[in-house]
Structure formats: C-alpha cells, structure tokens
Amino acid sequence: MKVLVACEYSGIVREAFKAKGHDAWSCDLLDTETPGNHIQGDVLAILGQEWDLMIAHPPCTYLTCTGNRWFKPEYKERFPTREQDRVDAIEFFEKLYNAPVEKICIENPVGIMSSILRKPDQIIQPFQFGHTEAKKTCLWLKNLPKLVFTNLKEPEYITYKSGKRMAKWYAEAVNLPKQERMKTRSRTFQGIAHAMADQWG
C-alpha cells in the first residue's frame, strides 16, 4: 500500500509500515527524526496523491480537554488568539478526516472532537501494546477495524499527596526542556505502531 503518516516527525509509524514492505511516507512541518521517506511541509497539499491508507496525528494543543482551562476569561489577555487557534485546529482535523483516502485513522487525546465531529471508534492505551505507560488515545477510523490488543502490561502511575494520579512517564517529562517535553509526549509508542502495521497493513 501507499501509506501516509500525517503530522509525524518521529518516523515511528512510517518505519513500522515500511518494515512490512509498504511505500510509507511521513509528513510534518518539522524534519524527520529518523532518516527515511519524509515530506517536510503542509500535509494538506499532498492529500490528493492517491494514498491507500492515512494515519494522522493532528496537533492536539487546542483540541484536548486538558487545555480547556486556558480558554477561561481570565486568560484572554495572556492568550488572545486561543479561540481562533481552536477554530483552526478543528478545521485542520476535519480536513484530514474528510481526505480523499480510502482507509483513514485519526489519532488524538481525549478532547472536543468527540462532541464536535463524533465519538471515536476506539480508545487505546500503550499498556495494551507492550508498554508500561498510560496515555489514553482516541482513534477515529474509516474502513479500518479496531486494533486488537497485543500485550497487556501493568501501567505505572505516580500518586500525589492531593490524591491526583498521573502516568509516571508523563509526569517525569516535566523536567525536560519545553520543546523536547512536547515531542516526548506526542510520539507514538512503538507497540502501537507495530500493531497498526501488523493489523492494518
């Protein structure tokens, strides 16, 4: 198949499909971290290039529920364009979802698209695919089956004095520089990438 991994700079999903013999390409505004078939630029410009499968990871900054507090009136002066940023993020997500590609998977954390577009077809966790990390991830699917879990693990959490619980890996990433922290938290886990390539390829 000709596979497009949209909004991916890590190359993790791309390389998983390439290992299965597919003509897989990643596309992102950033350069790829892993040498290989990568298009640096706007993915919307290449959606019409007869892809058989697209797995897309649109930016979640303005879509995730965890960022809703920044839309409160008291933060308006600090983030004056945030409302429009959310509108633009929704539009970008919908353009990917409506792309002229037969098989599509859109991946995102729990967020507002569940009510704006529709509920996701599946919610997965890395610990269902051989990792000890927890990261609730929604999948919107077109002409693709739900992923079958491959290797269940016990997830690792940190519980704070307040009683709040957070995934250990996610909490530890707070000590990284901002850009590296964002990249670490956005990369697809290898076990999930392998499952996508094995089950959808």
Nearest-angstrom CA–CA distance, 19 and 198:
10
DSSP string for 164-180? -EEEHHHHHGGGS-HHH
Tokens of 45: 């410009």
Model confidence over 68-121: pLDDT tens digits? 666 666 667 767 787 888 999 999 999 999 999 999 999 999 999 999 999 999
* CA atoms of 44 and 88, how far apart (whole Å): 13
Structure tokens at 175: 């000590």
pLDDT at residue 117 in the model: 97
pTM for this entry: 0.91
Radius of gyration in angstroms for the set of CA atoms belonging to the chain, rounded to a whole number: 17
Query: What pLDDT shows up at residue 174?
Result: 80
Query: What distance in Å separates the CA atoms of residue 201 and residue 191, rounded to the nearest whole number?
Result: 15
Task: Give domain 2-200's CATH number out of 3.40.50, 1.20.58, 1.20.120, 1.10.357.
Answer: 3.40.50
The domain spans of the chain are 2-200
Q: In this structure, which amino acid lies at residue 196?
A: M
List the chain pLDDT tens, one digit each, 201 residues: 999 999 999 999 999 999 999 999 999 999 999 999 999 999 999 999 999 999 999 999 889 876 666 666 666 776 778 788 899 999 999 999 999 999 999 999 999 999 999 999 999 999 999 999 999 999 999 999 999 999 999 999 999 888 888 899 888 888 878 778 778 878 999 999 999 999 999
